[in-house]
Amino acid sequence: MVGATIFCEICGRAIKGKALRVLVDRSEMLLCPSCAKRHGKILGTYAASRRQPQSVVTSPYRTRPYRVRTRPTRRREENYEVVEDYAERIREAREEMGLTREILARMVGEKESTIRRIESGKLTPSIDLAKKLERVLKITLLQPVSEGLEALREEGEEYYLTLGDVVEFKD
């Protein structure tokens, strides 16, 4: 590693002379003297005999933190649920349009087996899939969520969610 150029991890310039080991916000970095004075506590000089990270040796650019942009959650979808007779509606609409399960599956980007399970009532479609099916088959599969808990709260009654409200018990 003798003769390798070392770059400042803050400004990205090549360090002429000795690189300094500096503690910046609990992180040890190799900096040029001007950045070392401004940004942290100097721990000592960089020993060339130590193995240095590849990014410090070869990268002339400083690494910059970046923000990960996330999409806002869709609150509107939480206010809808799939109708109870979804299986019959889907099957009847598909047959009226003269589509096979295979063609419908391709149109909505799903497997044929998924469409078969939905039509038999063994699988409830997700909100996204129900929207796709609504668009392709020109039917209504989503309805607003019943206002059961909100109605109780408006009447002034306290209601606490229990395990029995969430779990379906086998008989």
Per-residue confidence band for 24, with pLDDT thresholds at 50, 70 and 90:
confident
Tokens of residue 139, six digits = 């039917």
| Nearest Cα to Cα of residue 127 among 83, 94, 90 | 83
pLDDT at 154 (0 to 100): 57
Which of the pair, 150 or 103, is modelled with greater confidence? Answer: 103
pLDDT at 80 (0 to 100): 87
Structural domains in the chain, sorted by start: 1-62 (no CATH), 76-154 (1.10.260.40)
User: Does the reported pTM lie above 0.75?
Assistant: no
| Nearest Cα to Cα of residue 32 among 43, 47, 23, 21 | 21
> What is the number of other CB atoms lying within 10 angstroms of the CB of residue 52?
15
Distance CA 115, CA 117 (A): 5
